[in-house]
Amino acid sequence: LRNNPHPWTNIHTQLIKKIKIYAKEIPCLHLPTHEADASDIGYGGILKQLINNKEQLVQYTSGSWNNAQRNYATVKKEILAIVLCIQKFQSDLLNQKFLIRVDCAAVGSILNKDVKT
């Protein structure tokens, strides 16, 4: 394309205007759902959103544990997976409520406890 650029025409301008109109009509997105999971070798997480009563994938992430992290207890790995996924998804989660789903009952108990200062 660099060697043979096409000239910008009225058609291109009209198409950009239509895209802007369509973008404004996108349905309002609902509360995001964040799911994270950990294993002995790594972690993974997904960010989903409810659109028209169906969960739609927004983003996903995964990674491997380093040698020290592989020695962590399961609960610690699960919580670290949540933290790493939230960091990855932070631009989508910033300034709004979100739901975290985990499959580890111990982590659920820890996250649902009131913190006393």
Average pLDDT by stretches of 10, the chain with 117 residues: 73 86 65 75 88 83 93 91 91 84 81 69
Domains of the chain, CATH where assigned: 28-112 (3.10.20.370)
**Per-residue pLDDT at 80:** 93
pLDDT at 69: 95
In angstroms, the CA 103 to CA 24 distance is 37
H/E stretch holding 35 reads strand 32-38
Report the predicted TM-score, pTM, of the whole model to 2 decimal places: 0.64
